[in-house]
């Protein structure tokens, strides 16, 4: 109880360390989510609007990767980016850049799968209507994307939620370096381990608060 | 010259043949109705005409030019047509944006679009609805948005698939008025699929009967409804009295037909001995309580077997040696006190009997 009171004090007083960590979490996950969206929305559209052999298999693989373990992505990147690894020369291991890449990899299948689902939710009749009203192929795709805009936004928010709440990859490729790569989940793990529950709790509350906001927005969107 | 022409189109969905060797041409400014039961292939034919589907076999000509099976030219031609689908699909946008989208896709200027959209919304009676989300509209309103969205493009060809299916009578009347107004005012060529025969009769100059993927008969309303080409068409167009018979004599175009031992007179050039069907529309038969002097060549004493009231009309079944169905107004039925068991006289003209040759089934 004492820990919770102190955590709330840290939040109310806008404790610089808490704010810095929360800000970093938001920016890393936000950028990862934005970049993943920029890749997944066009790629998802491409997969949805084209008929090719193995499409069903590809979609099944994407769905399977929804459950990609975060530590596995961390491990993969660690091997890749470590000094002796194939991309070691980049020198981005234990930097926010590596964390952004990690989270992007983590949420790409999710965003891709949900984008395809969102587009599949737009009926074929809408596509036919647009085509018969004289829309070109690109104009039809754009209209379908607009029709699916709420479902796509839900996909992006779910992706953001997964990115900001993951811990394995962020710690493995970020290194949890104070003042550089510490994010909410990493700090909670570290500080809780050290017995410093106030900071862990304060950050936990922020994470829950973010989840609450995302949930409210999702509910609003799903009602449209 | 035909604006749109279809030559030898055959189309399959998997192994099922949905259209079989369809040949059809519609002149500029004409209204053509495709009538046929559900599943006859009307929608597929319209989709092929709108270039939404590529037929398995056959060609489509637009304004004299053969349309390629792929490529940019299809989009250019499609932009000269518009298709109103059976179930109107409005986009999840405002009414204004729904109506404006086709113009935007054609690169029209913003000011011109605003003027055209306002005008068309007024024409379909949706002024003041501009900012409403189209998904919140009723079925009739959504159909009017779909109509406005197509009409605003001023297409040369308007394709309509069951434009009033599932609408209430008031909305149906509104849509029908709009369609005939546009056809008259803009000289738009229209091809309309409907299973509502009265709608086809009312709106179209020419009618094609599509049955099981085959265009069985094409002609004006009188041809189709009074002179069906075969038993299938006769059944579909509501020819309830289809009697099997044989021509026993023919005196200068007035044939005597033996229907189960009863002789009826009909206008026909078929020679004696020909096996035929004699078709009589139920509304072409009159009923009276006593034998009256009439120019009609066929008059039979009959017994009413059943009377069914159908709103303003009554359907009367009589037995005059052969079974006949007669449609009379409700008022007449009440005045004559028509009921089962009553003796009546049924009269019909020789010109009211349509003779079709009987295909002998293998």
The full DSSP string for B107-166 is T--HHHHHHHHHHHHHHTT-TT-TTSBGGGS-HHHHHHHHHHHHHTT--SEEEEESTTTT
What's the pLDDT at B172?
85
- Report d(CA A47, CA A55) in Å as an integer: 7
Residue range B269-280, pLDDT digits in tens: 999 999 999 999
Please indicate whether residue B177 or residue A38 has the higher confidence score (pLDDT). A38
Provide, as residue numbers in chain B, all residues whose Cβ is less than 8 Å from the Cβ of A131.
52, 78
**Pairing, β B57-62 against β B157-161:** unpaired
Average pLDDT, stretch B318-337? 92
Buried b (16+ CB within 10 A) or exposed e, A110-138: bbbbbbbbbbeebeeebbbbbbbbbbeee
Q: Do B89 and A129 touch (CB under 8 A)?
A: yes
Minimum Cα–Cα distance from B101: chain A residue? A133
Q: Do A123 and B89 touch (CB under 8 A)?
A: yes
Count of CB atoms within 10 A of residue B310's CB? Answer: 9
Rounded to the nearest 10 degrees, what angle do helices A137-147 and A124-132 cross at?
A: 140
What's the pLDDT at A1?
65
- Report d(CA B138, CA B284) in Å as an integer: 40
Could you say which of A128, A139, A147 has the minimum Cβ distance to residue B91? A147
What's the pLDDT at A48?
94
Minimum Cα–Cα distance from A140: chain B residue? B105
State how far the alpha carbon of A173 is from the alpha carbons of A36, A165, A184, B102, in Å. Answer: 18, 15, 15, 50
Q: For B27-31, B120-124, B289-293, which range has the lowest pLDDT when averaged over its residues?
A: B289-293
Residue range B52-63, pLDDT digits in tens: 999 999 999 999
- Report d(CA B229, CA B337) in Å as an integer: 37
User: What region does A112 belong to: left with phi over 0, alpha with psi -120 to 50, or beta?
Assistant: alpha
**Closest to A186 measured CA to CA, from A201, A198, A174, A195:** A174
Residue range B182-228, pLDDT digits in tens: 888 888 999 999 888 888 888 888 999 999 999 999 999 888 988 89
Secondary structure (3-state) at B353: strand
Decide if B246 contacts B259 (C-beta within 8 A): no
Q: Do B52 and A132 touch (CB under 8 A)?
A: yes
Q: Do B106 and A134 touch (CB under 8 A)?
A: yes
Residue range B288-313, pLDDT digits in tens: 988 777 677 899 999 999 999 888 89
Alpha carbon of residue B16 to chain centroid: 24
Provide, as residue numbers in chain A, all residues whose Cβ is less than 8 Å from the Cβ of B161.
none
Q: Residue B362 pLDDT more than 50?
A: no
What ipTM score was computed for the predicted complex, to two decimals? 0.80
Minimum Cα–Cα distance from B147: chain A residue? A133
**Pairing, β B157-161 against β B189-194:** parallel
Q: Do A132 and B50 touch (CB under 8 A)?
A: yes
What's the pLDDT at B100?
97
Angle, CA of B233, B45 and B165, to the nearest 5°? 75
**Mutation test of the interface with chain A: which of B80, B105, B146, choosing the one with the most A Cβ atoms within 10 A?**
B105
Q: Do B91 and A126 touch (CB under 8 A)?
A: yes
Q: Does domain A2-223 have CATH number 3.40.47.10?
A: no
Q: Do A133 and B93 touch (CB under 8 A)?
A: no
Residues of chain A with a CB closer than 8 angstroms to some CB in chain B:
123, 125-126, 128-136, 139, 143, 146-147
* Minimal CA separation from A51 to chain B, in Å: 16
**Closest to A128 measured CA to CA, from B125, B354, B85, B44:** B85
**Mutation test of the interface with chain B: which of A129, A142, A149, choosing the one with the most B Cβ atoms within 10 A?**
A129
Provide, as residue numbers in chain A, all residues whose Cβ is less than 8 Å from the Cβ of B146.
129
* Minimal CA separation from B60 to chain A, in Å: 16
Q: Do A147 and B106 touch (CB under 8 A)?
A: no
For A19-85, the DSSP string reads: HHHHHHHHHHHHHHHHHHHHHHHHHHHHHHH---TTHHHHHHHHHHGGG--HHHHHHHHHHHHSTTS
Average pLDDT by stretches of 10, chain A with 224 residues? 75 86 94 96 94 94 94 94 91 94 96 96 93 94 93 92 92 90 91 86 87 86 72
**Closest to A171 measured CA to CA, from A150, A192, A148, A202:** A192
What's the pLDDT at A215?
84
- Report d(CA B144, CA B122) in Å as an integer: 11
Q: Residue B249 pLDDT more than 80?
A: yes
Decide if B307 contacts B316 (C-beta within 8 A): yes
Minimum Cα–Cα distance from B79: chain A residue? A134
What's the pLDDT at A118?
95
Most confident of A10-24, B117-131, B165-179: B117-131
Q: Do B101 and A135 touch (CB under 8 A)?
A: yes
| Chain A to chain B Cβ contacts (< 8 Å) | 54
Q: Do B75 and A134 touch (CB under 8 A)?
A: yes
Domain boundaries, chain A: 2-223
| DSSP 8-state secondary structure symbol assigned to residue B181 | H
Provide, as residue numbers in chain B, all residues whose Cβ is less than 8 Å from the Cβ of A135.
101-102, 105
Minimum Cα–Cα distance from A143: chain B residue? B91
Minimum Cα–Cα distance from A123: chain B residue? B89
Q: Do B91 and A125 touch (CB under 8 A)?
A: no
What's the pLDDT at A59?
95
Minimum Cα–Cα distance from A224: chain B residue? B92
């Amino acid at each position: 109880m004492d820990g919770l009171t102190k955590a709330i004090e840290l939040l109310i007083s806008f404790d610089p360390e808490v704010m810095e960590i929360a800000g970093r979490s938001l920016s890393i996950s936000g950028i990862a989510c934005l970049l993943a969206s920029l890749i997944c929305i066009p790629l998802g559209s491409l997969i949805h609007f084209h008929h090719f052999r193995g499409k069903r298999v590809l979609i099944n693989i994407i769905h399977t990767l929804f459950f990609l373990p975060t530590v596995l992505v961390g491990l993969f990147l660690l091997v890749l980016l470590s000094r002796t690894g194939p991309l070691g020369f980049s020198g981005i291991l234990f930097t926010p850049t590596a964390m952004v890449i990690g989270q992007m990899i983590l949420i790409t299948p999710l965003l891709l799968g949900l984008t395809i689902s969102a587009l599949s939710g737009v009926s074929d009749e809408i596509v036919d209507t647009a085509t018969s009203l004289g829309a070109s192929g690109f104009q039809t795709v754009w209209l379908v994307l607009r029709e699916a805009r709420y479902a796509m936004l839900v996909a992006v928010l779910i992706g953001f939620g997964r990115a900001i709440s993951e811990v394995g990859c962020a710690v493995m490729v970020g290194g949890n370096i104070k003042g550089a790569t510490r994010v909410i989940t990493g700090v909670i793990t570290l500080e809780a381990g050290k017995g410093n529950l106030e900071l862990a709790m304060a950050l936990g509350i922020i994470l829950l608060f973010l989840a609450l906001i995302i949930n409210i927005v999702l509910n609003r969107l799903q009602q449209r | 010259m035909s604006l749109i022409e279809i030559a030898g189109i055959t189309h399959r969905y998997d192994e099922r043949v949905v259209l079989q060797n369809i040949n059809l041409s519609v002149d500029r400014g004409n209204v053509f109705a495709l009538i046929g039961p559900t599943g006859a292939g009307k929608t597929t034919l319209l989709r092929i005409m709108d270039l939404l589907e590529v037929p398995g076999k056959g060609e489509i000509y637009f304004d004299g030019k053969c349309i390629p099976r792929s490529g940019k030219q299809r989009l250019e031609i499609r932009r000269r047509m518009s298709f109103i689908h059976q179930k109107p699909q409005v986009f999840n946008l405002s009414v204004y944006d729904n109506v404006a989208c086709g113009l935007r896709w054609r690169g029209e200027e913003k000011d011109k679009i605003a003027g055209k959209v306002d005008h068309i919304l007024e024409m379909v009676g949706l002024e003041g609805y501009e900012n409403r989300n189209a998904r919140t509209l009723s079925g009739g309103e959504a159909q009017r948005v779909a109509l406005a969205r197509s009409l605003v493009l001023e297409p040369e060809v308007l394709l309509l698939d069951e434009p009033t299916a599932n609408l209430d009578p008031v909305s149906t009347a509104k849509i029908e008025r709009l369609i005939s107004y546009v056809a008259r005012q803009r000289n738009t060529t229209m091809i309309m699929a409907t299973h509502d025969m009265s709608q086809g009769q009312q709106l179209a100059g020419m009618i094609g009967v599509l049955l099981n993927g085959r265009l069985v008969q094409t002609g004006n309303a009188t041809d189709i409804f009074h002179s069906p080409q075969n038993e299938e068409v006769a059944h579909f167009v509501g020819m309830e009295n289809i009697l099997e018979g044989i021509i026993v004599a023919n005196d200068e175009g007035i044939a005597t037909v033996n229907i189960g031992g009863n002789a009826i007179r009909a206008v026909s050039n078929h020679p004696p001995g020909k096996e035929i069907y004699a078709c009589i529309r139920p509304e072409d038969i009159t009923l009276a309580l006593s034998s009256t002097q009439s120019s009609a060549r066929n008059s039979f004493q009959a017994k009413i077997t059943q009377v069914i009231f159908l709103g303003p009309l009554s359907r009367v079944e009589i037995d005059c040696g052969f079974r006949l169905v007669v449609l009379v107004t409700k008022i007449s039925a009440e005045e004559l006190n028509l009921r089962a068991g009553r003796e009546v006289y049924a009269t019909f003209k020789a010109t009211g009997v349509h003779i079709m040759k009987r295909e002998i089934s293998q």
